[in-house]
Amino acid sequence: MDKNLKIELSETIKVTDSVKARTESEYLISSNKEKCKQLLGKSSLSEGDIIDVLVSLHIILEVSLNTLFRHLSLMGIKKDVDEFEIIKNIDAINFIDKTVLFIYNSKFNFDTKLTEASRYHSIIGTLKNFAGLRNQLLHGHSISSVFSEGKSRQSPLKKNINPESLESQIERFKFILEGMRFYLDCLDSSLTLNGKESFKKAYLNDDFLGH
């Protein structure tokens, strides 16, 4: 083998061995965004369609925030600890608690935007309200109607499966992501402007819902 080629190969191997990269699957985010887009494009929605959108919205939000916080946490941890051990511990914290910790423990530069910061602080309560409906659906709460003596009564969850409730949930979803985009923009960290924009596009984007 040519001596120069040996040197080039050796240098290439050394460089390759020193490169560290991590990829994250975004299938649950992209597939559920597409599902929502398709369903919301229909002229009318059945009860089943509404349930599908409600569940998909929650999957998008929870997976997106969990992934974002995982990225941010790993960027800030300098300890010589196995990365998957760190990820396991981060993933054990639910996404609402992660959001609370992010808002209260991160360093922000709000400058003249304190009023907006106070307004977006309410995304914590909005998150809890948003998650409540999904929890009822996936924990098997009754979606039922009772007909008796000429009258119809609906279970509490069934009352919330309607176009008006769906619209309210969509507005909560948008407000939460709007608030998170604001906090990310104001985050005082080593994260570059391009990095922030990439994170917003990947995990805090609600364009699939239209405006």
pLDDT at 5: 44
Tens digits of residue pLDDT in 157-202 = 888 899 999 999 999 999 999 999 999 999 999 899 999 999 999 9
Predicted TM-score (pTM) of this structure = 0.85
Tens digits of residue pLDDT in 105-141 = 999 999 999 999 999 999 999 999 999 888 888 888 8
Tokens 């699939």 belong to 208
Q: Cβ distance 107 to 188 under 8 Å?
A: yes
pLDDT at 3: 52
Tally the C-alpha atoms within 13 A of residue 6's C-alpha that lie toward its C-beta: 3
First to last CA, the chain: 62
Tens digits of residue pLDDT in 62-112 = 999 999 999 998 887 777 788 889 899 999 999 999 999 999 999 999 999
pLDDT at 28: 96
The domains of the chain are located at 27-142+152-209
pLDDT at 2: 53
Q: Which amino acid is residue 166, in one-letter code? A: L
Asked whether residue 20 carries a pLDDT value surpassing 90, the answer given is no
Buried b (16+ CB within 10 A) or exposed e, 142-176: ebeeeeeeeeeeeeebeebbeeeebeebbebbebb
